[in-house]
Amino acid sequence: MPSGPIGIFGGTFDPIHYGHLRLAQEILEHAKLAEVRFVPSGTPPHRGRPGADPHHRVEMVRLATADNASFTVDDRETQRGGPGYTYDTLTELRQQIGRQRSMALLLGADAFLDFATWHRWRELLDLAHIIVAYRPGYPIDTWQARMPGALAHEYAARYMQQPLAVHLAPSGGIAAVSMTGLDISATFVRSAVHDGSSPRYLLPDAVLAYIEAHRLYH
């Protein structure tokens, strides 16, 4: 059992695509994480376009991550049903891994800008670190100005220049890393499938084959 920092990567993954996979791979390497655990969320309350059922989203994440020994899938949120809170998930995980082991929540820049609206967001930082990856559309020079005040305050107070600093404490810091900019969204993949154009090369072939086999997003 590895005891290095564990990365927790939540998302709808509707479907998972190369933007998600590169984020996980690049943060894994920058922060020398022992593992990235993908946690597909339960069904979100509002969704513009019909998405895939939770069991399909989990299966697609399994297919996409199967050949990477550092990637694992945790389906506790979809098993629980309903939208669910990251706070509950991290609390449970913290109980399982103990107080000492470092844990980091991985977020894209857009998700981080919303972070201060999350349930018990400040307490989340007692449970884990945060590592943010810049996402196209959220350039480094302007994104700090886009943070709401309370979040900007926490960011400044907890900022770690080095993502490797997640090795020094179990939780509480915020690091930001750049990653290969991939302007891919699940929304775009869903619309492409719906419109009959191919999303090939934006996501793994195995995931696309699964989408076709189950007629998802049509």
C-alpha span between 186 and 7 (Å, rounded): 21
Looking at the Cβ atoms of 127 and 202, the one nearer to ligand ATP is 202
155: amino acid identity, one letter: Y
C-alpha span between 181 and 159 (Å, rounded): 22
Site map 4..43 versus ligand ATP, x via CB under 6 A: -------xxxx----xx--x--------------------
Site for ligand ATP (CB under 6 A): which residue of 25, 43, 70, 185? 185
186 interacts with ligand ATP by CB under 6 A: yes
CB of residue 92 to ligand ATP, shortest distance in Å: 20
Q: Which two tokens stand for residue 81?
A: 């049903």
Cis peptide before 15 (omega within 30 of 0): yes
Site map 71..110 versus ligand ATP, x via CB under 6 A: ------------------------------------xx-x
C-alpha span between 93 and 166 (Å, rounded): 17
C-alpha span between 172 and 105 (Å, rounded): 11
Closest residue to ligand ATP, based on beta-carbon distance: 108
User: Are 173 and 129 in contact, with CB atoms under 8 Å apart?
Assistant: yes
13: amino acid identity, one letter: F
CB of residue 13 to ligand ATP, shortest distance in Å: 5
Site map 133..162 versus ligand ATP, x via CB under 6 A: x-x---------------------------
Distance of CA 120 to the CA centre of its chain: 18
Contact residues for ligand ATP (CB under 6 A)? 11-14, 19-20, 23, 107-108, 110-111, 133, 135, 182, 184-187
